[in-house]
Structure 1
Amino acid sequence: MNKNTYKAHLALLGANLIYGVNYIIAKGIMPDKIGPSSFVFIRLLFATPLFWILNTFVVKERVAKSDIPRLVLCGLLGAATNQLLFFHGINLTSPIDASIIMTVVPVIVLVFSSLLLKEHITKNKLLGIIIGGIGAITLILYGSKVAGSSSLLGNLFIFLNATSYGLYLVFVKPLMKKYKAITVISWVFLFGFLFTFPFGINDFMNTDFAAFTLNTYLVVAFVVLFTTFFAYLFNIYSLNYVSPSVTSSYIYLQPLISFIMVTIYVEVFSQKQYIQDINLVKIVSCLLVVFGVYLVSKKAKSTN
């Protein structure tokens, strides 16, 4: 593994640690303090200028007019659709369920990468997808039979979010071969904000900001700076050096991180509403998906 590939894996690890924490942190202020559409509107409202500042003053790179349609599509899939569906989904369902369902992304990416990008499916990738998938499916099937804070509609939103994000990872890959990461993400967020505007502006205007506490502002700041700005940078940077299927495979870490966060909330902060989402079956299943990450990201040995 060369230096750039090593950095790409570290970036993927950092992004998915942020995402794993975000499940429970973002849910903590919805819908009492802020609605899902308003939350997404704020994310894009503040994060988009941050990306454009970097693009304008640091990168200074322009894109060809012929690539605008693909950037529009990436903005729709990767910044608008997936974020709206995710926040509406996490607002309704449990953090652990949401993180489990998101593990469907590598399957989507694997299929579409093979069809659209002609990416070769190695035995390690396939085996990793199967093992990680077994862990995810076990959790989903078991979770549907026990009491908890899950929701059918919320889970459906999360699944559609995962589909949108998986397609985004595939469609954005060719752009990463032509432009720097900041350039691509700047345009993706700009178009994403334009798509989100009609869905979020009313909720944003009706949000009672006077009722925000210090904790509310800290959560919003975390989501804007870390979940949105840094995590997107980490993910899109990694696409310069690893395939979309490897990038998406790191999502298998999110159920484990989400489980740890829920455990902390239950045991340390006495947030008992999540206690039914914790059991041995979910622990074992999370270990399976982590092992799946290892297999998918492991580089095949070359033969002479």
Structure 2
Amino acid sequence: MPGKIKIHSVLLFVTLIYGANYTVAKFVMPEYLEPFGFIVFRIILGTLLFWIFSAVTGADKIKSRKDFGLLFLCGLFGVAANQLLFFKGLSLTNPINGSVIMTTSPIMVMIVAYALGKEGITVKKIIGVLIGALGAYLLLTKDGVSLSEGTFLGDLLILLNGSSYAVYLVLVKPLMAKYKAITVIKWVFLFGGIIAFPFGISELSAVDWASIPVSIWFCIAYVILAATFLVYLLNVWSLKFVNSSLVGSYIYLQPVFATLVAVAFRDDQLDVFTVLYSMVIMLGVYLVSQK
């Protein structure tokens, strides 16, 4: 087993990559690629990369139909629903809000893990859930509740995305005890791509590829190579050695990196209420993450 420093360094590196992804992906959508079209393009190329990597490094054979069923569910929650909701939500909100809302994911992981009998629950965790939910509610409704104006709908979709990813983190854990990381992730992406394809093929076919400038191609490459290939591979690798709650808890560092990148490269504004409500959410996440 690798040392604690190596595992935590990998998780921090993943958090850095994904924190920047909020701003990088926002440069692409919706001017050059619509959200669902971008997701299908991302999943197709990501799947190809994982299967090529698997062919080079070697992978296990899936041992049972039950495991195929579990891989399908991981593809549904961890790739298709997760990414469709995330990119659509991000196109309707700003990177700072999106990254803060995603910090509720550890709370969702705890709830799902408890519901499936994978992890216990304590009074401190319940208090953490309530505090985190209060912070999320305050941030969601900060600019009013409207499905046509402001960031409410985008923030809500990001929240649902975090819930979907929480289900994935819990479901994928037992598979990591049986198979190599690349074995799991290549099948998860294949099934996720099959599910997501009908939702985004029309948007993908309408893309004017010739009009995309070189700078945006670099952004697309970052999303596919770093925020997809590296992030998913390193996350499932880390799940072989630590529990899903610890992996999920690293997500509350994302707003720090996402905010720095958004303010530096997009001139986004950070208001005092966003900071305050973010601190409420992070307090809830801290309590949930405590043993």
Q: Which residue of structure 1 aligns with residue 62 of structure 2? A: 63
Deviation by residue 1:118-137 (Cα, 9 ceiling, x = unmatched): 31346776676666666555
Which of the numbers 269, 274, 286 marks the counterpart of 1:282? Answer: 274
Q: Are the equivalent residues in 2 in contact too, given 1:176–1:239 (CA < 8 A)?
A: yes
Aligned residues, how many? 287
Find the aligned partners of 1:279 and 1:239 in 2 and give their Cα distance. Answer: 35
Q: Report matched runs for 1:139-218 at 5 Å.
A: 139-144=139-144, 150-218=150-218
Distance 1:260-1:284 versus aligned 2 partners, 3 A rule: farther
Q: CA deviation at 1:151?
A: 2.2
Q: Are the equivalent residues in 2 in contact too, given 1:23–1:258 (CA < 8 A)?
A: yes
The RMSD of aligned alpha carbons is: 2.5
Q: Which stretch of the first structure deviates more once superposed, 66-75 or 133-142?
A: 133-142
Q: Which residue of structure 1 aligns with residue 12 of structure 2? A: 13
SS at match of 2:227: helix
What is the identity, as a one-letter code, of the residue corresponding to 1:93? T
Q: Are the equivalent residues in 1 in contact too, given 2:106–2:288 (CA < 8 A)?
A: no
Q: Which residue of structure 2 aligns with residue 109 of structure 1? A: 109
- Whether 2:79 is the aligned partner of 1:79: answer yes
Find the aligned partners of 1:221 and 1:283 in 2 and give their Cα distance. Answer: 31
Find the aligned partners of 2:169 and 2:22 in 1 and give their Cα distance. Answer: 20
Find the aligned partners of 1:124 and 1:49 in 2 and give their Cα distance. Answer: 43
Distance 1:133-1:295 versus aligned 2 partners, 3 A rule: same
Q: Percent identity?
A: 42
Q: Are the equivalent residues in 2 in contact too, given 1:36–1:91 (CA < 8 A)?
A: yes
Q: CA deviation at 1:177?
A: 0.9
- Whether 2:221 is the aligned partner of 1:229: answer no
What is the identity, as a one-letter code, of the residue corresponding to 1:18? I
Q: Are the equivalent residues in 1 in contact too, given 2:112–2:170 (CA < 8 A)?
A: yes
Q: Which stretch of the first structure deviates more once superposed, 122-131 or 210-219?
A: 122-131
Q: Are the equivalent residues in 1 in contact too, given 2:107–2:285 (CA < 8 A)?
A: no
SS at match of 2:160: helix
Q: Are the equivalent residues in 2 in contact too, given 1:37–1:88 (CA < 8 A)?
A: yes
Q: Which residue of structure 2 aligns with residue 93 of structure 1? A: 93
Distance 1:13-1:219 versus aligned 2 partners, 3 A rule: same
Q: Report matched runs for 1:237-276 at 5 Å.
A: 237-265=237-265, 271=267, 274-275=268-269
Q: CA deviation at 1:11?
A: 2.0
Q: Are the equivalent residues in 2 in contact too, given 1:14–1:234 (CA < 8 A)?
A: no
Q: Which residue of structure 2 aligns with residue 51 of structure 1? A: 50
Q: What's the TM-score once normalised by structure 2's chain length?
A: 0.88
Q: Report matched runs for 1:118-133 at 5 Å.
A: 118-121=118-121
Find the aligned partners of 2:134 and 2:5 in 1 and give their Cα distance. Answer: 28
Find the aligned partners of 2:156 and 2:137 in 1 and give their Cα distance. Answer: 15
Find the aligned partners of 2:103 and 2:6 in 1 and give their Cα distance. Answer: 23
Distance 1:154-1:292 versus aligned 2 partners, 3 A rule: closer
SS at match of 1:179: coil
SS at match of 2:28: coil
What is the identity, as a one-letter code, of the residue corresponding to 1:12? L
Distance 1:137-1:100 versus aligned 2 partners, 3 A rule: farther
Distance 1:297-1:109 versus aligned 2 partners, 3 A rule: closer
SS at match of 1:28: helix
Q: CA deviation at 1:143?
A: 5.0
Find the aligned partners of 1:120 and 1:4 in 2 and give their Cα distance. Answer: 26
Q: Which stretch of the first structure deviates more once superposed, 59-68 or 4-13?
A: 4-13
Q: Are the equivalent residues in 2 in contact too, given 1:105–1:248 (CA < 8 A)?
A: yes
Find the aligned partners of 1:115 and 1:11 in 2 and give their Cα distance. Answer: 29
Gaps of 5+ in 2: none
Deviation by residue 1:13-59 (Cα, 9 ceiling, x = unmatched): 12222221111111112111111111111111111111112222213
Distance 1:293-1:164 versus aligned 2 partners, 3 A rule: closer
Deviation by residue 1:206-245 (Cα, 9 ceiling, x = unmatched): 1000110011100100000011011111211121111111
What is the identity, as a one-letter code, of the residue corresponding to 2:272? L
Find the aligned partners of 2:18 and 2:186 in 1 and give their Cα distance. Answer: 20
What is the identity, as a one-letter code, of the residue corresponding to 2:55? T
Distance 1:51-1:123 versus aligned 2 partners, 3 A rule: farther
Q: Which stretch of the first structure deviates more once superposed, 67-76 or 241-250?
A: 241-250
